[in-house]
């Protein structure tokens, strides 16, 4: 009996200690002294950490992310190309702060301007780019604000370079902007990951070489972007993104006390994300799941979600489960048509709800199928009608 009693006590101790051991494996979130910060998982779009993520803040040169976005949209739409040229105006030449050191009447390519903006944060390059693509800074800024509105982001711009303290962003808004930017223009990262940029003004005898101010490109594994910013009203800002094991994270730090501190805290956020979260693909949980199609060439349609990847704390991926609420839809059904709601549970706790979508197109059925479904629905509704 003594042996059984000892075994029982041992098991009880294990039950008490084991959960705390598992929890101990989850590192606490880093202490962030910056005014605002956000860590986002790129694949899922989930916010893994937030401090004052929805509070307004002055972006400084983070504005240039939207400047790059709008310019690359124009190129993607065929309204401009990287090889197009622009003439440097006197207004651009007179810009203060970070510069490419463009000179009046110089001819530069759009690609040179984009590189100068991404790598050395050239305020002069922003003005030349805006004038070249929209005719004026004001017209280009309008395009920037229209883009923010189209993306549903709480961002407001008054210039293309960020020198004004009247530009307004939030940390979460910037993270979502970066996610959309890199989704729409994945090749843009090649501009941001460059360690330095060389440009030779017309009057110079040798090229001017300037280093990228994002120190994490040299010190953090997998770092490949994205943008720094500083104004007295803003403090020191940084958007840092990195890829490790084919997984991208985005860290936004706003209002740090120094360049070194913004890099330290951005690196801490990225490290926290990689060490403490896994990605789970919920698409297999929807295999063979369907909803009924009325008057269609098929009577059932498969289900999918727009973003099947979710981020979960390490070690609990196996506890992910889903609940489906579907509705009968009438053909024709286009692929991607909303057909219900998917509830995602982690350890039986609801963590996220997303739209369920039709996984394929279903055409309108034959006249015989339509008549049959009409008759079936009529009698079904008749039977269900309360008496």
Kindly list the distances between the CA atom of residue 321 and the CA atoms of 284, 285, 313, in Å, as whole numbers in the listed order: 11, 8, 14
The band of 387, judged by pLDDT with boundaries at 50, 70 and 90, is: low
**Cα 298 → chain centroid:** 37
Contact predicate 251/239, CB 8 Å: yes
User: What mean pLDDT comes out for the span 40-60?
Assistant: 97
pLDDT at residue 24, as a whole number: 39
Report pLDDT digits (tens) over 248-284. 999 999 999 999 999 999 999 999 999 999 999 999 9
pLDDT at residue 318, as a whole number: 86
Helix axes 123-134, 63-76, angle to 10 degrees: 40
Tokens 């982001």, residue located: 153
Q: Which residues are catalytic?
A: 61, 64, 121
Please say if the pLDDT value at position 378 is more than 80: no
pLDDT at residue 386, as a whole number: 63
What 3-state class would DSSP assign to 58? coil
Report pLDDT digits (tens) over 65-114. 999 999 999 999 999 999 999 999 999 999 999 999 999 999 999 999 99
Please say if the pLDDT value at position 12 is more than 70: no
Report pLDDT digits (tens) over 178-203. 999 999 999 999 999 999 999 999 99
pLDDT at residue 347, as a whole number: 87
pLDDT at residue 372, as a whole number: 82
Tokens of 226: 């994205």
Instruction: Please name the residue ranges forming H helices in 297-342.
Output: none
Tokens of 296: 């269609």
Instruction: Please tell me the distance from the alpha carbon of residue 51 to that of residue 59, in angstroms, as a whole number.
Output: 16
What 3-state class would DSSP assign to 313? strand
Q: What is the mean pLDDT of the chain?
A: 91
Report pLDDT digits (tens) over 123-159. 999 999 999 999 999 999 999 999 999 999 999 999 9
Q: What is the pTM of this model?
A: 0.88
The band of 2, judged by pLDDT with boundaries at 50, 70 and 90, is: very low
pLDDT at residue 323, as a whole number: 94
pLDDT at residue 101, as a whole number: 97
User: What mean pLDDT comes out for the span 203-215?
Assistant: 96
Kindly list the distances between the CA atom of residue 169 and the CA atoms of 15, 70, 166, 312, 364, in Å, as whole numbers in the listed order: 47, 17, 10, 28, 46
Please say if the pLDDT value at position 352 is more than 60: yes
Helix axes 123-134, 110-120, angle to 10 degrees: 140
Please say if the pLDDT value at position 7 is more than 90: no
Tokens of 329: 């839809």
Report pLDDT digits (tens) over 291-341. 999 888 999 999 999 999 999 999 888 899 999 999 989 889 999 999 999
Q: In terms of pLDDT, which residue wins out, 298 or 164? A: 164
């Amino acid at each position: 009996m003594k042996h059984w009693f000892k075994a029982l006590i041992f098991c009880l101790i294990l039950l008490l200690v084991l959960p705390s051991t598992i929890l101990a494996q989850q590192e606490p979130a880093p202490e962030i002294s910056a005014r605002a910060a956000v860590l986002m998982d790129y694949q899922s779009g989930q916010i893994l950490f937030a401090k004052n993520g929805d509070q307004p803040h002055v972006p400084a040169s983070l504005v240039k992310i939207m400047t790059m976005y709008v310019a690359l949209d124009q190129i993607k739409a065929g309204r401009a190309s990287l090889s197009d040229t622009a003439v440097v105006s006197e207004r651009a030449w007179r810009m203060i702060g970070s510069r490419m050191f463009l000179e009046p009447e110089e001819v530069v390519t759009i690609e040179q301007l984009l590189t100068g903006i991404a790598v050395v944060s050239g305020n002069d390059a922003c003005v030349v780019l805006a004038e070249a693509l929209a005719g004026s800074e004001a017209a280009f800024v309008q395009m920037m604000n229209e883009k923010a509105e189209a993306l549903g982001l709480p961002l407001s711009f008054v210039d293309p370079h960020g020198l004004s303290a009247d530009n307004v962003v939030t940390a979460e808004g910037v993270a979502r902007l970066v996610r959309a930017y890199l989704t729409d223009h994945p090749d843009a990262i090649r501009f941001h990951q460059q360690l330095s940029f060389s440009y030779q003004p017309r009057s110079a005898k040798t090229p001017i070489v300037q280093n990228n101010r994002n120190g994490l490109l040299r010190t953090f594994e997998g770092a490949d972007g994205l943008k720094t910013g500083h104004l007295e009203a803003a403090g020191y800002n940084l958007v840092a993104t990195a890829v490790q094991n084919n997984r991208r994270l985005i860290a936004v730090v706003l209002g740090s006390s120094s360049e070194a501190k913004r890099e330290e805290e951005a690196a801490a956020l990225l490290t926290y994300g990689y060490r403490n979260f896994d990605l789970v693909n919920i698409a297999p949980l929807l295999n063979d799941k369907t909803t009924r199609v009325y008057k269609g060439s098929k009577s059932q349609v498969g289900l999918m979600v727009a973003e099947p990847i979710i981020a979960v704390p390490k070690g609990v991926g196996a506890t992910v489960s889903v609940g489906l609420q579907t509705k009968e839809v009438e053909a024709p059904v286009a692929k991607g048509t909303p057909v219900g709601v998917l509830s995602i549970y982690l350890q039986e706790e609801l963590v996220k709800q997303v739209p369920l979508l039709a996984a394929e197109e279903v055409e309108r059925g034959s006249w015989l199928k339509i008549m049959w479904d009409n008759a079936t629905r009529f009698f079904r509704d008749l039977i269900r009608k309360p008496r």
